[in-house]
C-alpha cells in the first residue's frame, strides 16, 4: 500500500494523535514530516523563546519516533512544495494532519486541501488541539459566542472522547527514507542566550508534558482554586507551553482529571479540578474567538476601542521601562523579569502586568501582545489575543476598562510576604514584607539596611498610581463621548 505522510505542526506527540492514529489504521508506510514555514502559517514570526521550545520538542519527537523504528523528516520552505517533494520521492498518496485554528494556518490548510487532491493525493485533517471544534459551537442566534460562561456551559455539555492510544510496536516505515535537514538547519536557537536557564525550568516534549501533568494532578489539583492566584507558590500546572505545542492534548487532560476521581462518580472531583478545567475552557474560548474573529490579533473586537486616545511615549521610554522590569512597582517588575528569565509568567501577574501597560501607561495593548509573543515559551496567538483584549476591555467578555488594578494592593493581596518579588528582584531581597511592594514609601534607614538605593539599584515608580488612574478613566470617557 502507498505511504501516508503525517504532517506534524502543533501536535508534537504520539499518543492521542488522531492524524497519526488514522494513518496507522489506514495501513502502509507512515512518513512523519515537520516543515518550518512560519511565513505562511504564522501571523508574526515566532519569538526566540518559542523557537527554543520548538527545537527541543522536535528533538524529543524524533527520538520517540526512532524508538518506534521511524524518524522525523525535517524540511524548511513552502509547505505545499515540500509536501509535493516528499510525495514524489516516497510515492505517498495521502497526507494527514491535525488542524490549527489561527487565521494564517486556516488559510494555508484550505489551500492545501484544494491543491493536493488535484494531484490525486488523499487529504484528511483531524482535531487534536481542542475539546470542541470552533465552528461546532454557536449561540442560540447561530452566531459565535462572545460570553465565556454561556460558551462553557454548551462546551461541557458535549461528550469528550477518550484519548486515542497507540498499540505497541514499530511503525511501518518506507523502503527508503526521503532526505531530511538536520534540526540545527532550522536555526531555531540562534537568538536564545538564555537557553541554559530555560533548560533548568522546562522539559519540552511529550514525556515532559506527561510528567508535569501527573505531578500536578497528584500534588496541585485538589487545592488549585485556593492557591492559583499566589505567584510565590508552585501552585499552577505550567502546562501551557506543552499544550501550545501539542505535546499533551485537552482530551488527555480531561481523562487525567476523571481518573483522579478514583471511581467516585463525581466530576469534577473537587473545586480545584473544576477551577482548573475552567481554565482549559478559557483556552478553548480563545481559539473559538480567533477562529470566528480573525481580525482580533490586530484590531479590537469592540470597534469603539479603535478610537481610544492612547498616550504619547516619546522615544519609547515608558514601553522600554515596562519591558525591562523597571517600572518601580515590584509586582509588575517581578513578572517581567520572570518572563525574561524563564519565558513564562504567572497568570495572575500577567493580568497585573498587562493592566499596568494599558491603564497606567496608556500604551496600546498590541504593544504588550507583541512583547509577550516574542518572549513567552507558550506564545499562543489565540490565548495572547484573548488575554490582552480582556485586560484592555476591548474583547469578548472583557473586564471593564474602568477596572484598574492597583499594583501595590495586588502585590499585598497575592504576594503578602513578598516571596515572589524577592525571587525575581534580588535588589529587594532584604526589604521587609511591609515595604517590599512599595519601597519608595520605606524609611531611609530601612532602605539603607536592605541595600536598596532608589533611582540607584531600583527605580522609583515611573507613574503615580492615582494620577495614572484618573488619566485612564478620563481617556475612557473621551472615547465614549467620541461616538
* CB environment 419-438: b (16+ within 10 A), e (fewer): ebbbbbbebbeebeeebbbb
Q: Which residues contact 333 (CB under 8 A, 6 or more apart)?
A: 325, 326, 327, 424, 425
Q: State the catalytic residue, choosing from 365, 371, 373, 390.
A: 365
Helix (H, G, I), strand (E, B) or coil at 178: coil
CB distance 221 to 272 below 8 Å: yes
Q: Find, among 306, 240, 297, the residue nearest to 53 by Cα.
A: 240
**Residue that the C-alpha cell 518550518 belongs to:** 36
Q: What are the Cα distances from residue 460, in Å, to 271, 330, 351, 412, 439?
A: 41, 10, 22, 18, 8
Say whether 365 is catalytic. Answer: yes
276 catalytic residue (yes or no): no
Single out the residue of 49, 45, 35, 39 nearest to residue 191, CA to CA: 49
Which of 152, 371, 373, 388 is an active site residue?
Answer: 388
52 is catalytic: no
Helix spans in 263-395 (H): 271-292, 317-323, 330-342, 347-355, 365-375, 381-392
User: Could you say which of 44, 122, 177, 282 is catalytic?
Assistant: 282
Q: Are 268 and 274 in contact (CB under 8 A)?
A: yes
Is residue 388 part of the annotated active site? The answer reads: yes
Beta strands 73-76; 122-126: pairing state = unpaired
Burial class (CB in 10 A: 0-12, 13-18, 19+), 135: exposed
Spot the catalytic one: 44, 177, 310, 440: 310
CA distance to 44, 197, 385, per residue, from 293 (Å):
17, 37, 11
- Give me the catalytic one of 40, 177, 279, 440: 279
Spatial separation of the C-alpha atoms in residues 30 and 74, rounded to whole Å: 15
Q: Out of 122, 133, 347, 440, pick the active-site residue.
A: 347
Among residues 58, 54, 52, the alpha carbon closest in space to that of 342 is found at 52
Residues labelled as active-site residues: 279, 282, 310, 347, 365, 388
Amino acid at each position: 500500500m502507498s505511504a501516508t505522510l503525517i504532517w506534524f505542526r502543533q501536535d508534537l506527540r504520539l499518543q492521542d494523535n488522531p492524524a497519526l492514529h488514522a494513518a496507522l489504521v489506514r495501513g502502509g508506510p507512515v512518513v512523519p514530516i515537520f516543515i518550518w514555514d512560519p511565513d505562511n502559517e504564522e501571523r508574526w514570526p515566532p519569538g526566540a523563546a518559542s523557537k527554543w521550545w520548538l527545537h527541543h520538542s522536535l528533538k524529543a519527537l524524533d527520538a520517540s519516533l526512532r524508538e518506534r523504528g521511524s524518524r522525523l523528516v525535517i524540511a524548511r520552505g513552502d509547505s505545499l512544495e515540500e509536501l509535493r517533494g516528499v510525495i514524489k520521492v516516497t510515492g505517498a498518496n495521502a497526507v494527514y494532519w491535525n488542524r490549527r485554528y489561527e487565521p494564517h494556518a486556516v488559510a494555508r490548510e484550505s489551500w492545501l486541501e484544494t491543491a493536493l487532491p488535484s494531484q490525486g493525493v488523499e487529504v484528511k485533517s483531524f482535531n487534536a488541539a481542542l475539546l470542541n471544534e470552533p465552528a461546532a459551537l454557536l449561540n442560540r442566534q447561530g452566531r459565535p459566542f462572545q460570553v465565556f460562561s454561556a460558551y462553557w456551559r454548551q462546551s461541557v455539555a458535549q461528550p469528550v472522547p477518550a484519548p486515542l492510544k497507540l498499540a505497541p510496536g514499530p511503525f511501518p516505515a518506507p523502503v527508503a527514507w526521503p532526505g531530511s535537514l538536520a534540526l540545527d538547519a532550522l536555526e531555531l536557537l540562534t537568538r536564545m542566550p538564555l537557553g541554559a536557564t530555560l533548560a533548568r525550568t522546562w522539559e519540552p516534549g511529550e514525556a515532559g508534558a506527561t510528567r508535569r501533568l501527573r505531578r500536578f494532578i497528584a500534588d496541585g489539583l485538589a487545592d488549585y482554586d485556593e492557591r492559583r492566584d499566589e505567584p510565590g507558590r508552585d501552585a499552577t500546572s505550567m502546562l501551557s507551553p506543552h499544550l501550545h505545542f501539542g505535546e499533551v492534548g485537552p482530551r488527555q487532560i480531561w481523562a487525567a482529571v476523571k481518573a483522579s476521581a478514583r471511581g467516585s462518580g463525581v466530576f469534577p472531583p473537587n473545586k480545584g479540578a473544576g477551577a482548573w478545567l475552567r481554565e482549559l475552557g478559557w483556552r478553548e474560548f480563545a481559539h473559538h474567538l480567533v477562529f470566528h474573529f480573525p481580525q482580533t490579533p490586530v484590531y479590537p473586537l469592540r470597534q469603539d476601542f479603535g478610537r481610544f486616545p492612547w498616550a504619547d511615549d516619546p522615544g519609547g521610554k515608558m514601553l522600554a521601562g515596562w519591558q525591562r522590569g523597571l517600572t518601580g512597582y515590584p509586582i509588575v517588575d517581578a513578572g517581567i523579569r520572570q518572563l525574561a528569565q524563564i519565558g513564562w509568567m504567572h497568570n495572575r501577574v500577567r493580568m497585573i502586568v498587562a493592566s499596568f501597560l494599558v491603564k497606567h501607561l496608556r500604551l496600546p495593548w498590541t504593544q504588550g501582545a507583541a512583547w509577550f509573543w516574542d518572549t513567552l515559551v507558550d506564545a499562543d496567538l489565540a490565548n495572547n489575543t484573548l488575554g490582552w483584549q480582556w485586560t484592555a476591555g476591548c474583547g469578548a467578555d472583557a473586564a471593564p476598562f474602568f477596572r484598574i488594578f492597583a499594583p501595590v494592593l495586588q502585590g499585598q493581596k497575592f504576594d503578602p510576604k513578598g516571596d515572589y518579588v524577592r525571587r525575581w528582584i534580588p535588589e529587594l531581597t532584604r526589604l521587609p514584607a511591609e515595604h517590599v511592594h512599595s519601597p519608595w514609601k520605606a524609611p531611609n534607614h530601612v532602605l539603607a539596611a536592605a541595600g536598596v538605593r532608589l533611582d540607584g539599584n531600583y527605580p522609583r515608580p515611573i507613574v503615580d498610581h492615582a494620577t495614572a488612574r484618573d488619566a485612564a478613566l478620563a481617556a475612557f470617557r473621551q472615547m465614549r463621548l467620541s461616538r
